């Protein structure tokens, strides 16, 4: 009966704590966004809100769900925002990439009523080129959008239709003035310098309007994108062949993997990257207070960066001297990627082999999400990301390790509990902070083709530590992971081994994440050991084969990815999975 009473007390306690928590979070946020008079128009991103605000004028209020300066990718829906979306008279969104998700949320919340996709309106006017969503980078098209929005507003507020028409005309005149102003700012850019390289294909409409040519970007895709092994190399080639000296970084890409790809290439070629170009948001903290400001700011940045008289890039293409199979290694950053991938996969598969025998196979998931929470805290506290991720990773390891030693709960249960909790903490922090200016996931989920030298060295050092530790205490480790009680009865320091193994796991996973990304790290911990398990009868053989399969997958995956133009980390994982599949098919039960 005593234990039943305990459970009861715990449940009641948890309920009280969650109610108090809910009260604290909701308190002070109870007031509705609704004003008693006028329209409430809600939009996805600030730039759209600003343009629509020009039309709505004093007939209502326009709000953006994502605040200025915040990356739409990091936005997490809160109950309060859902309420605002539900109460709005209309919800406007553009309809591209991660931003489209907000339109999907809004449709769900509002049962599909009063949700307007701006790209559909613009498509009907025939102004969209190849589905590229960034039409507002041409102010004349922003005026077109304003006119269309005016029509939609008139349909729900007929009394105001004349007012909206008048505002749209006035806005159009304003945009024509802005257009002339931008053209005049850009007039000092010489003809041969009118070439743009950006992170994504955001400057298409701008370039077309002002006589520029977009010659390179990492990807034309607007949504979530993992760089392929070739993206960096192709970007480098475009930069070199066009004599580019400056690459422009979009504000939204400040902390993304794609930006890292650009910076890696820029570093190696010895040219410059400048920021920021404002596309989907502006940043009042930098004195950029709306659509007009950001367009002028962009024009000034481009004019300043491209009108200098410095000589063209002196970078030469090394191509032609490198034999075809080694073409991916033409650039140093590709070497760094290969080494980081190899070192990470070796370390992860080695600790993974022991972890799998101990029943900790899913530990990587707990750590990745623990690290995510740590990154959010580090970001909000302005601390270093590696430090944040590592502290959170070690905390997860410590929690799992101590709960496992104190209770009879199985490791997989403890790991699953920890991982779900840490993930929720990350989401909670992000939602409370209203999102972040950078994409936290991008920091966590790095990419093989964008490995900075210090990250490569960090990865190599860590792998060396893991390999040395595993080799020196291999017998004790093996004894411990296959039979902890016997290890203790033999007088081994099982407490030390237990915590050391979990600490190394945490170190390996966090370091690998920040070097090669999430999927390759988690996969290397499990797939090579799983394949090796089927191909081995003895413990030494098992460990050696795990590491060999990981190393082989890294090398083959890297080159295959280059020639297939796919993501290197993911390709390496697929190679390992293929080896696993072969092992499954050829496995014979004795």
Partner 1 sequence: MKVEVRGKSACIVRNVTVKYGSNPHPALENVSFEASLGEMVMIAGPNGGGKSTLLKVIVGLVKPVKGNVKVLGRDPFKDPAIRRLIGYVPQITDLNLSAPLTLRDLVMLPRLAIKSSPWKGPRKEDIESVERSIKELGLEDHADKRISELSGGMLARALIARVLALDPILYVMDEPFESMDWESEEITMKVLRREKERGKLIIVSEHHISDDHIDYFDRTLLLKRRIIAEGRPRDVIEVYRRLGGS
Shortest gap between Cβ of 579 and partner 1 (angstroms)? 16
Q: How far is CA 164 from CA 43, 48, 140, 453, in A?
A: 18, 16, 18, 55
Q: Contact with partner 1 (CB under 8 A): which of 37, 58, 310, 538? A: 538
Shortest gap between Cβ of 347 and partner 1 (angstroms)? 19
**What is the rounded CA–CA span in Å between residue 166 and residue 55?**
9
**What is the rounded CA–CA span in Å between residue 209 and residue 296?**
14
**Helical residues (DSSP H) of 59-98, grouped into ranges:** 79-87
Which CB, 11 or 482, lies closer to partner 1? 482
Is 434 among the residues that bind partner 1 (CB under 8 A)? no
Is 542 among the residues that bind partner 1 (CB under 8 A)? yes
At 140, list the tokens: 């004349």
90-93 and 115-117 strand pairing? parallel
Shortest gap between Cβ of 361 and partner 1 (angstroms)? 12
Number of residues that bind partner 1 (CB under 8 A): 33
Site of tokens 């505002």: 167
At 531, list the tokens: 């394949």
Shortest gap between Cβ of 406 and partner 1 (angstroms)? 11
Q: Which stretch binds partner 1 (CB under 8 A): 131-139, 178-186, 324-332, 535-543?
A: 535-543
Q: How far is CA 420 from CA 110, 368, 468, 473, in A?
A: 29, 11, 33, 32
Q: Which stretch binds partner 1 (CB under 8 A): 247-255, 362-370, 390-398, 532-540?
A: 532-540
Is 357 among the residues that bind partner 1 (CB under 8 A)? yes
Ranges within 481-520 binding partner 1 (CB under 8 A): 481-493
Q: Which stretch binds partner 1 (CB under 8 A): 151-159, 248-256, 432-440, 479-487?
A: 479-487
Which CB, 287 or 408, lies closer to partner 1? 408
Q: Read off φ and ψ for residue 217, nearest 5 degrees.
A: -165, 165
Shortest gap between Cβ of 492 and partner 1 (angstroms)? 6
Shortest gap between Cβ of 483 and partner 1 (angstroms)? 4
Shortest gap between Cβ of 521 and partner 1 (angstroms)? 23
Which CB, 191 or 538, lies closer to partner 1? 538
Q: Contact with partner 1 (CB under 8 A): which of 149, 266, 466, 473? A: 473
Shortest gap between Cβ of 357 and partner 1 (angstroms)? 5
Is 479 among the residues that bind partner 1 (CB under 8 A)? yes
Is 420 among the residues that bind partner 1 (CB under 8 A)? no
What is the total residue count of the chain? 590
Is 548 among the residues that bind partner 1 (CB under 8 A)? no
Q: Contact with partner 1 (CB under 8 A): which of 83, 305, 402, 536? A: 536
At 413, list the tokens: 């249960």
Sign of the CA dihedral running 434, 105, 107, 140? positive
Is 467 among the residues that bind partner 1 (CB under 8 A)? no
E strand spans, 361-514: none
What is the helix (H) or strand (E) element at residue 274, kind and residue range?
strand 272-277
DSSP class of residue 219? B
Q: Read off φ and ψ for residue 213, nearest 5 degrees.
A: -125, 130
At 402, list the tokens: 């101590």
DSSP output for 91-144: EEE---TTHHHHHHHHHHHHTTTTEEEHHHHHHHTT--STT---GGGSHHHHHH
Q: Contact with partner 1 (CB under 8 A): which of 472, 581, 582, 584? A: 472
Binding site for partner 1 (CB under 8 A): 2, 357-359, 471-476, 478-479, 481-493, 533, 536-539, 541-542, 590
């Amino acid at each position: 009966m005593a234990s039943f009473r305990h459970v009861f007390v715990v449940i009641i306690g948890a309920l009280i704590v969650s109610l108090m928590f809910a009260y604290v979070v909701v308190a002070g946020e109870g007031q509705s966004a609704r004003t008693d008079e006028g329209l409430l128009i809600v939009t996805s991103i600030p730039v759209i809100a600003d343009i629509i605000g020009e039309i709505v004028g004093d007939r209502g209020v326009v709000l953006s769900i994502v605040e200025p300066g915040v990356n739409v990718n990091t936005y997490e829906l809160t109950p309060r925002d859902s309420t605002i979306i539900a109460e709005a008279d209309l919800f406007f969104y553009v309809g591209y990439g991660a931003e489209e998700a907000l339109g999907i949320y809004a449709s769900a919340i509002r049962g599909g009523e009063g949700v307007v996709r701006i790209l559909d309106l613009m498509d009907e006017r025939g102004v969209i080129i190849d589905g590229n969503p960034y039409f507002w980078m041409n102010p004349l098209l922003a005026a077109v959008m304003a006119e269309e929005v005016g029509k939609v507003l008139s349909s729900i507020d007929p009394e105001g239709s004349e007012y909206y028409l008048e505002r749209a005309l006035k806005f159009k005149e304003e945009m024509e003035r802005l257009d002339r102003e931008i053209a005049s700012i850009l007039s000092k850019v010489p003809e041969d310098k009118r070439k743009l390289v950006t992170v994504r294909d955001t400057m298409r409409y701008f370039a077309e309007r002002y006589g520029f040519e977009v010659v390179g970007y990492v990807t034309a895709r607007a949504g979530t994108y993992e760089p392929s092994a070739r993206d960096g190399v192709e970007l480098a080639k475009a930069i070199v062949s066009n004599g580019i000296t400056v690459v422009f970084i979009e504000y939204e890409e400040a902390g993304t993997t794609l930006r890292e790809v650009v910076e890696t290439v820029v570093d190696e070629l010895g040219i410059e990257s400048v920021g920021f170009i404002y596309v989907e948001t502006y940043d009042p903290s930098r004195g950029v207070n709306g659509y007009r400001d950001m367009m002028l700011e962009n024009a000034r940045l481009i004019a300043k960066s491209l009108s200098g008289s410095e000589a063209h890039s002196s970078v030469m293409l090394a191509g032609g001297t490198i034999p075809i199979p080694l073409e991916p290694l033409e650039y140093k950053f590709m070497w760094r990627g290969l080494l980081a991938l190899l070192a990470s996969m070796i370390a992860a598969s080695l600790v993974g082999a022991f972890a799998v025998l101990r029943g900790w196979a899913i530990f990587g998931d707990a750590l990745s999400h623990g690290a995510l929470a740590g990154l959010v805290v580090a970001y909000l506290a302005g601390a270093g990301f590696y430090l944040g991720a590592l502290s959170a990773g070690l905390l997860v390891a410590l929690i799992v390790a101590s709960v496992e030693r104190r209770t009879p709960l199985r490791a997989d249960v403890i790991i699953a509990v920890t991982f779900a909790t840490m993930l929720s903490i990350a989401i909670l922090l992000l939602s409370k902070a209203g999102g972040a200016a950078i994409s936290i996931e991008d920091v966590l989920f790095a990419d093989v083709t964008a490995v900075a030298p210090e990250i490569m060295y960090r990865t190599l050092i860590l792998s060396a530590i893991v390999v040395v530790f595993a080799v020196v205490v291999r017998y004790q480790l093996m004894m411990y992971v296959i039979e902890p009680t016997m290890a203790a009865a033999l007088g081994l320091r099982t407490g030390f081994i237990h915590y050391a193994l979990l600490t190394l796991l945490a170190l390996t996973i966090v370091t690998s994440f920040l070097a090669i990304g999430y999927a390759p790290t988690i996969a290397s911990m499990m797939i090579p050991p799983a394949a090796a398990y089927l191909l081995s009868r003895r413990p030494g053989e098992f460990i050696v084969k795990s590491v060999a399969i990981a190393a082989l997958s890294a090398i083959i995956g890297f080159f295959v990815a280059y020639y297939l133009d796919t993501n290197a980390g993911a390709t390496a994982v697929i190679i390992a999975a293929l080896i696993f599949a072969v092992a499954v098919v050829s496995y014979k039960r004795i």
